[in-house]
Structures are given as C-alpha cells and as structure tokens.
Amino acid sequence: MKNKILEYFLKYVKIDTMSKEDETTVPSTSKQFNLAKILVEDLKELGLVDVRLTDNCFVYGRLPKNSDSNLKIGFIAHMDTIPGFSGTNVKPNVIYNYDGENIKLNNITLDTNTFSYLPSLKGKTLITTDGTTVLGADDKAGIANIMGMLWYYVNNPDVKHCEINVSFSPDEEIGGAMDQFDIKGFNSDFAYTVDGLRFNEIEYENFNAASAKVEIKGFDIHPGDAKDKMINASRVAMEFDSMLSEFDRPEHTEGYEGFNHLTDMSGEVGYAKLSYILRNHDKEKLESQKNDFINIKDFLNKKYGNIVTLTITDSYKNMKEKIMKDNRCVTRAIEAIKKLGFNPVSKPIRGGTDGARLTELGLNTPNLGTGGYNCHGPYEMACLEEMENVSKILIEISKTE
C-alpha cells in the first residue's frame, strides 16, 4: 500500500491546482479540473461506482459495501493549493531512509533547530519540495491517503467494510465551496475531512468566526481653520482600535483563547475603515467580543456625533456542538487510532475547516490528519510512513465485522 500511496501522491502534487481569492465562481480556477479528471479516472480504474465530476469541480464516487453493515461513511479531501504561494511546476523530492540531519533544498534549508521534530523522522521516507513552490501535501496527501484506502480494499476483497463515499473538492483554501457540496447525493451517516497534519489527529472543535467592518466618516476642513471643528477619521479609527483589549490579539493568544484581529486599515481625514476578524471556540465569548465592538461604536458616536458605523457578519461556527449530538464519528476514529496502537490527539483547531461548514449544513464531519508538515510554504513536506498510517486509520474506521 505504501508504494501505491507514494505513486498517487507524486502524480497529484505535480498538477497545478492553485485556487484564487476574490473569484465569484466555484471552482475559482479552471485548472483544478485537470486534477479532478485524473481522479475520476483513478476512481473508475479501482472500480468505484457512481463516479462523477460536477460542473463546479466536485468529484464523487462510491465503494459499495461487502458486509451486512448499514453504515455509510464519507471521506473528503480538497484538491486546491493556496493562492498565496506558487503551486506551479512542483518538483517533489523523495528522500528514502532520511538521515535525521538538515535538508538542503535549492535555496532553503529545512534545519533541525527550526523544525525540531525532523530527527524523530530518521529512517523514514520524506517528500519535500525543491524549495521554490509548495508541495501541495495540503491536501493531496489527504487525497492519496483516501486512494490508498480504496486501493487496499479493492485488492483485499475479503476484508469487510461498510459503504464508503469519497469526494475530492475544490477551493478549500479560499473557503465557501462547501455550500455547493451535494450532501444529499453523498448520502453518508457522517464523514471525515482528511486535511490535518499529524497522522494521529482527530479534530472536531474549531473557532466560531465573525468579521467586523468599522467605517468612520470624519469632518475634513482646512487645518488652518480646524479648531473645534475638524474630526480626523484616521485618528478616530486609531482610538477605536486602542479601546479593544491588547490581550485579545492573535499574537497574544493560543489554545482556547479567542482573538480580535485587525486585518486591514485605511484612512484619510474624511473617511477611515478598519476590518477585523473575530474568533472564539466559545460562542458566548464571541458574542461578548461582538458586544465590545458595539459598545466602542456607541461610545465614539456619543463623543463625536454618529460618525461610526459597524457591520458584523457571522462567518462559520464551531462544529463541536452539533458533533456531540451524534459523536459516532469521533468515537469511531478514536477507537480506530487506538486499535492500531497509536495515541489519538484532539486539539482545538484555531481556524475553520470544510468539515465545520458541512457539519453546520447537517453532515457531521470532523477532521483527520494526513502525514503532512509545514503546509502553505516551501518548507512543506510529507512523511510517507505516516501517510500510510493515515490510510490504515481510514481502513480501520470503515472496516466492519
């Protein structure tokens, strides 16, 4: 299975599937179809049924059950790579029997001080970039892991399993595509995104998320005649920001601590704008963060006379609440990881996932690891033995008596 996973992975990472911000269509880039079409062929070659590619670039397929189980489990991974760093012309570099030392690529070094886990991977097979692009392990490792599981079942027909539905999706990195996921057609009791990092992860808590836009209309007048008249919108914007707690910033928070993050600001005397993202695992606490914004707006409006407008928009929700109502997906994964002799790790995700959105839409979908490391940049790499462990975990999850 290991060699097959490597073969799939190397094939997929070489295909450019960068997504693009600020596009109104799904997929955001048509080149994602290039990988989707190959995946359709690979699924058909393995004998999956109902294999289809939709106009919005979702690949679906089904491996019918060979047991009496009525359970239907879904596995999902995304095809796109981040818009912010090149995923064009990826040249994967396979290191067999890694020596545990610094890894020199063309123009960068994966050094054991910065990446302190590297020595623990001594003897393993690593796949790195050539230093100039992302690798795309996020999330083509997830795709290869799912394909590895399917390949195993097809080649070991005596191993009993439930119905398995798979989907490879576009545009995870820019968000929003899951609203077009065919939950009904996917017809699964629950699903997993295979899109994390460490192979023994099972994640089912993420942020509740909102955004806040603050707009300030100043009073612009010649500075020579400004006494008691001018209201400088830029200064009011700074005042607004200074009233938010400094401790609630991303650079001062971790674990379950939420934050308000100033992502963008612009300002002149007459008009200024601040954009924030608000995050918290606890929805009550997120509401209280929103209230801080409202209180500051009201205070400044009283002080200067209705010059501040505030727009708060909810973005996504913590999946934990819904998952806990039917947590078979979590218990099944934890049991599978333990049964293989690994130690399951659950950490709160300090972000969102496609699965969080699917959970909100009615399909419970926690997140599993992939065996990838350092995603979203040229240091990205994957460990083949850990990818194989993920495939084994997927097999254990979907196996039946």
Tell me which residues are annotated as active site.
80, 172
Positions 187 through 206 that interact with Zn ion (CB under 5 A) = 195
CA atoms of 288 and 283, how far apart (whole Å): 9
Considering only CA atoms, which of 396, 389, 382 is closest in space to residue 342?
389
Least separation in angstroms between CB 321 and Zn ion: 23
Question: In Å, how far are 24, 83, 85 from 20, measured between CA atoms?
Answer: 10, 5, 11
For tokens 């295909």, the residue is 15
* Contact residue for Zn ion among 16, 80, 138, 388 (CB under 5 A): 138
Cβ proximity to Zn ion, 16 vs 139, nearer residue: 139
CB atoms under 10 Å from CB of 173, counted, come to: 23
Q: How many CA atoms lie within 13 A of 333 on its CB side?
A: 30
Least separation in angstroms between CB 82 and Zn ion: 9
CA atoms of 112 and 102, how far apart (whole Å): 6
Dihedral (CA of 265, 356, 367, 178) sign? negative
Least separation in angstroms between CB 218 and Zn ion: 42
* Contact residue for Zn ion among 42, 80, 139, 163 (CB under 5 A): 139
CA atoms of 101 and 200, how far apart (whole Å): 24
Cβ proximity to Zn ion, 174 vs 231, nearer residue: 174
Considering only CA atoms, which of 32, 316, 360, 376 is closest in space to residue 175?
316
Cβ proximity to Zn ion, 138 vs 248, nearer residue: 138
Least separation in angstroms between CB 139 and Zn ion: 4
Cβ proximity to Zn ion, 8 vs 153, nearer residue: 8
Cβ proximity to Zn ion, 370 vs 398, nearer residue: 370
Cβ proximity to Zn ion, 139 vs 248, nearer residue: 139
Positions 371 through 400 that interact with Zn ion (CB under 5 A) = none
Least separation in angstroms between CB 23 and Zn ion: 18
| Count of residues of this chain found to bind Zn ion when the rule CB under 5 A is applied | 3
Least separation in angstroms between CB 338 and Zn ion: 25
For tokens 């708060």, the residue is 312
Least separation in angstroms between CB 363 and Zn ion: 18
367-368/190-194 β-pairing: parallel
User: Is 42 near Zn ion (CB under 5 A)?
Assistant: no
Q: Which stretch binds Zn ion (CB under 5 A): 134-142, 278-286, 304-312, 314-322?
A: 134-142
- Residues near Zn ion, by CB under 5 A: 138-139, 195
